[in-house]
Chain A
Amino acid sequence: DSGVTQTPKHLITATGQRVTLRCSPRSGDLSVYWYQQSLDQGLQFLIQYYNGEERAKGNILERFSAQQFPDLHSELNLSSLELGDSALYFCASSVGTGERYNEQFFGPGTRLTVL
């Protein structure tokens, strides 16, 4: 158990819908990262937050957004869902940001299926 929690574990929804994925980082970790794992794209970085502020953006679609709240939990919002958004979404957390060794601990993931 990495200490990172993600809910829900599974999510099945229809095209055009909007969903929210939730992540609670390990106690003491200030950084939260979101990754998407799909069959065709592999594991891709989406976005990072540090202590409530956006720090880095990767291959995140405009239909997707995220935020980190004062209690440091984070939510990833996916809207106007398409079939291609079906994937495993991981949240990871770390103590700091980009400097030096900073192990990222991954949550169990949320498996999103868009029908």
Chain B
Amino acid sequence: AQKITQTQPGMFVQEKEAVTLDCTYDTSDPSYGLFWYKQPSSGEMIFLIYQGSYDQQNATEGRYSLNFQKARKSANLVISASQLGDSAMYFCAMRPYSGAGSYQLTFGKGTKLSVIP
């Protein structure tokens, strides 16, 4: 079974500053994908970034980057130059690429990010 842990229920960041949202995971599968989603107050789930377990480089997508440390089983999301529109819930998720759980995403509890002007 897979487990995602997000230890920060809420975070505050000053506008234009960088912020790191923590995510650790637990899986016995050798190959897996890690995902971050953003959920604004309107409710939709917006895909932000993906990291494959065998990817050599950390993923980046615009202002989002993923600090992937495989040995520590962590996949922290870094948001640079925070904007007011970044205020939202952020979910870390994973999916193994083999076995019975390979079809669905397992999500963490989420971190609520508030950007302060």
Give the contact-size bracket for chain A. 20 to 34
Beyond A42-B110, A43-B91, is A103–B47 a contact (Cβ under 8 Å)? yes
A97–B98 CA distance with the chains assembled, in angstroms: 11
B residues near A31, Cβ cutoff 8 Å = 103
Task: Indicate if the CB atoms of B44 and A101 lie closer than 8 Å.
Answer: no
Q: How far is the CB of B71 from chain A (nearest CB, A)?
A: 22
Q: How far is the CB of B46 from chain A (nearest CB, A)?
A: 8
Shortest beta-carbon contacts, A-B, top 5: A45-B104, A98-B102, A106-B45, A56-B103, A43-B107
- 13 residue pairs bridging A and B, Cβ less than 8 Å apart: A43-B105, A43-B110, A55-B103, A88-B43, A92-B45, A98-B98, A98-B103, A101-B52, A102-B33, A105-B47, A106-B47, A108-B43, A109-B44
Chain A contact residues, CB within 8 Å of chain B: 2, 31, 33, 35, 42-45, 48, 55-56, 58, 88, 90, 92, 97-109, 111
